A and B are shown apart, each in its own frame.
Chain A
């Protein structure tokens, strides 16, 4: 509603706003159906044990690497990754790995890296890539630790 009022008040920006929305709508509608099909199949077919093995607490460094790999696959905008992460969490993936997955999805997508390489150069891209990967793992571990602490205090309270 606020959006409607703004656009009404500033007609100069209308075309640009509508144009952008349509572009994002097109992106969404060409990706979201595929994502929900994957979520559905994942929910029904993939055994819990498998997710726990590859992305659960016992997965260690391999889990982080797998999470980064999954995140870097050329897929779509970040908001479609949230339900995917939620589905994996339900099946026993650890929080740290899902944060790594989301961060990788957001920051180090393969097609995005190509564009970055082209515009920002090799040094910038490589440095940002390695720093982001390290930050992703740190963020994952920190979040997991804090979520656990929060749960424990809730339980004891």
Chain B
């Protein structure tokens, strides 16, 4: 149980209790919506979880380090953003990895681009995003996200 899990569960529970005290039948209706959206998301989310597992099983932090340690300049940032877009690494692992990349001699811009696109873009979670928000918004969000990840990386590379 980390802070995030606890926070979100406490908020949900508090909201649920508040709702129950206000209106029982509306709360029942809300829970029906909850069950429906849970069941709707589950198959896709399970698939994604398996894919993430396989991906991380093959692409170890060591491999990423090898790929990003040597490249620098714009090409380094591009590689970093591409890897970041495909990978799905929790921040507790991502930031130590980023720090060790820096120590290993990778450029600041490369590392910043990696983090920005890692967090902002999820190629693996496309199916969920399309289902909830539509194809158009998904493409735009991820497309702009990718461009801005590179822009942020370039700016940080110059400033730091």
Instruction: List A residues at the B interface (Cβ < 8 Å).
Output: 3, 6-7, 10, 13-14, 16-22, 24-25, 27-28, 30-41, 43-45, 73-76, 78-79, 82-83, 85-86, 89, 95, 98-99, 102-103, 106-107, 109, 111-112, 115-116, 118-120, 123-124, 127-128, 131-132, 135, 138-139, 142-143, 146-147, 150
Segment at the A interface, from B66-74, B75-83, B145-153: B145-153
Known: A131-B156, A143-B144. 8 other contacts (CB 8 A): A10-B58, A19-B53, A25-B49, A27-B90, A31-B9, A32-B41, A111-B91, A115-B92
Contacting residues of chain B (6-58) with chain A, CB-CB under 8 angstroms: 7-9, 11-13, 15-16, 19, 22-23, 26-27, 29-35, 37-38, 41-42, 45-46, 48-54, 56-58
In Å, the complex CA distance between A18 and B50 comes to: 8
Is the Cβ of B132 less than 8 Å from the Cβ of A83?
A: yes
B interface residue count range (under 10 / 10 to 19 / 20 to 34 / 35 or more): 35 or more
Q: How far is it, in angstroms, between the C-alpha of A16 and the C-alpha of B125 when the chains are bound?
A: 21
B144 / chain A contacts, CB cutoff of 8 Å: 139, 142-143
Q: Are B136 and A116 in contact (CB under 8 A)?
A: no
Are A3 and B141 closer than 8 Å at their CB atoms? no
- With A20-B57, A37-B15, A86-B132 known as contacts, the answer to whether A115 contacts B155 (CB < 8 A) is no
User: How many angstroms between the C-alpha atoms of A124 and B37 in the bound complex?
Assistant: 38
A sample of 25 inter-chain contacts (CB < 8 A) reads A17-B54, A22-B53, A31-B4, A33-B34, A33-B38, A38-B12, A38-B15, A39-B37, A40-B29, A43-B33, A44-B33, A45-B26, A75-B4, A76-B8, A79-B45, A79-B128, A89-B133, A107-B120, A112-B91, A128-B115, A128-B116, A128-B156, A135-B151, A135-B152, A147-B137
Q: In the complex, which residue of chain B has the Cβ closest to the Cβ of A34?
A: B12
Assess whether B119 is in contact with A24, with CB atoms less than 8 Å apart: no
CB pair A132 B50 closer than 8 Å: no
Q: CA separation between A138 and B149, bound complex, in Å?
A: 12
Given A24-B53, A135-B152: A120 and B95 within 8 A (CB)?
Answer: yes
Q: Is the CB of A39 within 8 A of B156?
A: no
